[in-house]
């Protein structure tokens, strides 16, 4: 029954009963006698109580819907409001749930397009850095070597320094290109790529251990890239924000899926709001049907867990 008819019929019943009583046995004198006042007050109280109960029951699903709308998060999809209540409310909830289906699908498609465009662009920049700036610097290095061979004694040291600086620049460019395009992923596969990532982030202040088990089910190329990018963002955050001296990258078979864990022993999230990095991790996870959680570690520090069910991400 619709909310309108519920409230209307309740009020109608109350008023009809009151009118029938007034026309029949009940009389109200002027001034009112105490017994009559009691009957009127009790009748009124009963009517109000019944009204309150019907409204409370009828509006509860709307309140629930309001709460769900306020906390809806497209990055954590799948939550739906149970369809309940009077007709209009049930229709509203169904429409809202359908709207969420559409928004989640559009968001996922949009994120997939944006992320693949980003990967393409990164590859292009990496290629240009490597093939163009890298080649130019290599040519400069060779030229400097020829100059060094023929340079008078007093210039040798300066030319040597220029060679050193050029070599450092070349290394830097190779490093940046490698980060932009995880070539190791294509060449050596995910376990080696994760090991090399751990080594890359290990500095004098931070030791990154890796625990990458063999015998993992093969993942699709897309899932491997997602695991790699999540590990990369997790370690970047550890290096930038955590103040940790130890971190760990772990990849294991857990249940029917593969789980990546990036754990550090730093100061923890401390209620920091999500940035683009964390949202990007969630979006990437959704892309391959994975689930990502970012939260406190067992003692202190931060844990990032990405679980990809094999059915969703396996080759």
Beta pairing partners, 207: 246
Stretch that binds Mg ion, among 154-162, 203-211, 230-238, 242-250 (CB under 5 A): 230-238
Question: Number of C-alpha atoms within 13 angstroms, CB side, residue 315?
Answer: 8
257 sits in which H/E element: strand 257-264
**Residue least distant from Mg ion (Cβ):** 277
Residues 6+ apart with CB under 8 A from 299: 265
Task: Give the shortest CB-263-to-ligand ATP separation in angstroms.
Answer: 9
**One residue of 88, 131, 256, 274 binding ligand ATP per CB under 6 A:** 274
Return the number of other C-beta atoms located less than 10 Å from residue 3's C-beta: 18
Residue-wise DSSP of 137-198: HHHHHHHHHHHHHHS-HHHHHHHHHHHHHHHHHHHHHHHHHHHHS-HHHHHH-HHHHHHHHH
**In the sheet where 291-296 sits, what is the strand order?**
207-212, 246-254, 257-264, 302-309, 291-296
Task: Give the shortest CB-272-to-ligand ATP separation in angstroms.
Answer: 3
179 binds Mg ion (CB under 5 A): no
Task: Give the shortest CB-280-to-Mg ion separation in angstroms.
Answer: 8
- Residue nearer to ligand ATP on the CB measure, 85 or 266: 266
Query: For 94, left (φ over 0), alpha (ψ -120 to 50), or beta?
Result: alpha
Task: Give the shortest CB-114-to-Mg ion separation in angstroms.
Answer: 17
**One residue of 230, 264, 283, 288 binding ligand ATP per CB under 6 A:** 264
Q: CA-to-CA distance for 148 and 103, rounded, in angstroms? A: 64
Return the number of other C-beta atoms located less than 10 Å from residue 221's C-beta: 11
Q: Of Mg ion, ligand ATP, none, which one sits near residue 70, judging by CB under 5 to 8 A according to partner kind? A: none
Task: Give the shortest CB-63-to-ligand ATP separation in angstroms.
Answer: 32
The site for ligand ATP, by CB under 6 A, has a size of 17
Q: CA-to-CA distance for 290 and 296, rounded, in angstroms? A: 20
Span 144-203, contacts to ligand ATP by CB under 6 A: none
Stretch that binds Mg ion, among 1-9, 106-114, 134-142, 231-239 (CB under 5 A): 231-239
Stretch that binds ligand ATP, among 13-21, 101-109, 161-169, 259-267 (CB under 6 A): 259-267
Span 221-250, contacts to ligand ATP by CB under 6 A: 237-238, 240-242
For residues 279, 280, 284, 285, the Cα torsion angle rounded to the nearest 10 degrees is: -30
298 binds ligand ATP (CB under 6 A): no
Q: Are 309 and 267 in contact (CB under 8 A)?
A: no
237 binds Mg ion (CB under 5 A): yes
Q: In this structure, what DSSP letter does residue 271 have?
A: T
Q: Of Mg ion, ligand ATP, none, which one sits near residue 249, judging by CB under 5 to 8 A according to partner kind? A: none
Q: Of ligand ATP, Mg ion, none, which one sits near residue 211, judging by CB under 5 to 8 A according to partner kind? A: none
**One residue of 14, 43, 243, 277 binding Mg ion per CB under 5 A:** 277
| Number of alpha helices (DSSP H) and beta strands (DSSP E) in the chain | 10, 5
**One residue of 269, 285, 292, 308 binding ligand ATP per CB under 6 A:** 269
Q: Which SS3 state, helix, strand or coil, does residue 254 take?
A: strand
Q: Of ligand ATP, Mg ion, none, which one sits near residue 267, judging by CB under 5 to 8 A according to partner kind? A: ligand ATP
Contacts with ligand ATP, residue ranges (CB under 6 A):
237-238, 240-242, 264, 266-269, 272, 274-278, 302
Contacts with Mg ion, residue ranges (CB under 5 A):
237, 277
């Amino acid at each position: 029954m619709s909310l309108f008819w519920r409230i209307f019929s309740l009020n109608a019943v109350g008023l009809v009963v009151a009118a029938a009583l007034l026309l029949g046995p009940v009389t109200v004198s002027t001034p009112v006698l105490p017994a009559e006042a009691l009957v009127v007050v009790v009748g009124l109280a009963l009517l109000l109580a019944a009204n309150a109960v019907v409204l409370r029951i009828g509006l509860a699903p709307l309140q629930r819907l309001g709460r769900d709308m306020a906390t809806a998060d497209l990055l954590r999809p799948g939550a739906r409001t149970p369809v309940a209540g009077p007709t209009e409310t049930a229709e509203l909830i169904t429409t809202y749930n359908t709207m969420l289906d559409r928004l989640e699908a559009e968001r996922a498609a949009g994120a997939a397009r944006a992320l693949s465009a980003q990967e393409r662009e990164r590859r292009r920049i990496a290629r240009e850095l490597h093939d163009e700036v890298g080649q130019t610097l290599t040519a400069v290095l060779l030229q400097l070597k020829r100059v060094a061979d023929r340079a008078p004694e007093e210039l040798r040291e300066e030319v040597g320094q220029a060679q050193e600086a050029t070599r450092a620049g070349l290394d830097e460019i190779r490093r940046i290109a490698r980060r932009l395009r995880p070539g190791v992923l294509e060449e050596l596969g995910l376990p080696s790529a994760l090991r090399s990532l751990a080594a890359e982030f290990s500095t004098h202040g931070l030791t990154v251990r890796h625990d990458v088990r063999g015998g993992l089910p093969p993942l699709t190329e897309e899932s491997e890239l997602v695991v790699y990018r999540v590990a990369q963002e997790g370690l970047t955050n550890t290096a930038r924000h955590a103040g940790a001296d130890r971190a760990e990258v772990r990849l294991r078979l857990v249940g029917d899926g593969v789980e990546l864990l990036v754990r550090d022993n730093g100061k923890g999230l401390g209620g920091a709001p999500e940035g683009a990095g964390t949202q990007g991790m969630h979006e990437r996870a959704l892309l391959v049907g994975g689930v990502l959680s970012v939260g406190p570690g067992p003692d202190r520090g931060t844990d990032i867990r990405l679980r990809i069910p094999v059915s969703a991400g396996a080759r």
